[in-house]
Amino acid sequence: MSFPKRKKPEKKPVRTATKGAPTKARGAVKGRGATKKPLFRIDQRGDSDPRGDDATARGDGRRPTRPSSGAPRPKKVVERKRPDLSSEPHPGHFILTTREGAEQDLVDELVLAGVVDPPPRVLAPALVLAPKVPKRDKRPIDLAFARQGFPIVQSVRAHDLDEVATRTARSLRGQLERAREYALHVWVPDSDLGNPLASLADELEKKIAAQLAEALPQARRMDDAALRRLASMPLAQVCVIDPERTVSGVTYSNAALSLARGGRTRVRVTGSFPSRAARKLEEALAWLGVEPGPGELCVDLGAAPGGWTYVLAERRARVIAVDPAKLRPEILARKGVKHLQESAFTYAPDEPIDWLFCDMAWRPLEAAALLAKWGRKRWARMMVANIKLPMTKKADMIARVRGILESEGDWKHIRVKQLYHDRDEVTISAHVS
């Protein structure tokens, strides 16, 4: 039995692309209007790579060579990741706390200071983990966005508070066994997640303090007033990250970023003008450890409505308040206060000034140029200023402001800090050589 022969299918003519007609990426005959391979290739993850799969898989950034005929393409895209810190803090790391929302600013500041391998990272709201903290003359550098920090000696993860206290006290005991006096701070990060743990931190501190007192009978725990008064002593710190994680370590008080618990320097202003501006200056003077004395001459640029002038007048300093706007009547009536209604950018003093103060809502580079002029002309010997930072890259802007003060002015020993009462701003201090 024979089957009928099947007819061969007719070959369809190949259509060539014409000008203006759409063409296909594959199967088109080369010629006028024909297209080549697509410029972008989609890998298995859905990412587009203009260099093709080979460049992505190799990870070196060079243009890939065309594979030989029959060479298989890689099935998976392999990425090279930079070495990173582990997910958990461990001894040797530094933990730093900052204002909630300023975590990336602190990371950027550390990177600008040279902490890049491995890079610092955000651990939790208001907490940053770093492999190290840059030092200058064997002391940690002033980090503008770091409120407090310490090198981690012990990291504890446990549900039971007694277990946390026992393990933490055992670790701190090894660090304090030769001390005659020490201070102990147990604190939480200043964040929406950390602040509700304050009562837990207080209970943990009591348990740790009791165990240290028993294990170190020769050492005496000092209060915060003695911590600020004495030159140097071991400062044991415990940070409660969350209900199950704590880290602890010891620094000397003269090398600590702050002597306040968790770096929170809360300031109260007595009298009839307790504004946030007044609290900012009170905290700045406490941070500096020096302030204007009675009879010293101060200039307050951008003084209205008078918060900083009020703080200076309380110290019986003479104040020249410079601002086109008016001061509050009760401040203007204070003894030693003189108000000049003119621009801070055109004002020039008639006599040498002891202190220059400046808190103006002005662009940071223009404010820095104004402060540099005062340093260059040596119109004042000390300076305290507040620089507004509404931009995203705050660490970069601080570096630019510092550069202007150093290169265009004659200011020395420049310090920058985002204080507890600062918001999107930092406080700068300096003095002429």
Q: What is the largest CA-CA distance in the chain?
A: 127
Distance CA 309, CA 358 (A): 10
- Quote the DSSP letter at residue 261: G
Output the 3-class SS for 97-162.
ECCCCCHHHHHHHHHHCCCCCCCCEEEECCEEEECCCCEECCEECCCCCCCEEEECCEEEECCCHH
Q: Token pair for residue 254?
A: 């003269």
Catalytic residue among 138, 335, 377, 388: 388
- Quote the DSSP letter at residue 176: H
Half-sphere exposure of 120 (CA within 13 A, CB side): 28
Residues 6 or more apart in contact with residue 277 via CB below 8 angstroms: 307, 308, 359
CA 262 to the chain's CA centroid: 15
Distance CA 208, CA 214 (A): 10
Name the one residue in this structure whose structure tokens are 């203009």. 50
SS3 164: helix
Q: Token pair for residue 364?
A: 């940071």
Task: Give the burial class of 136: count Cβ atoms within 10 A of its Cβ; 0-12 exposed, 13-18 middle, 19 or more buried.
Answer: exposed
Angle at 407 between CA 405 and CA 408, to 5 degrees: 70
Question: If you compute the radius of gyration of the chain from its CA atoms, what whole number of angstroms results?
Answer: 32
Distance CA 282, CA 268 (A): 8
- Is 388 tagged catalytic? yes
382, 413 contact by CB (below 8 A): no
Positive or negative torsion for Cα 271, 275, 279, 285: negative
SS3 44: coil
Distance CA 220, CA 133 (A): 29
Helix then strand count (H, E) for the chain reads 10, 20
Q: Token pair for residue 407?
A: 């290169």
Distance CA 284, CA 213 (A): 35
* Positions marked catalytic: 388
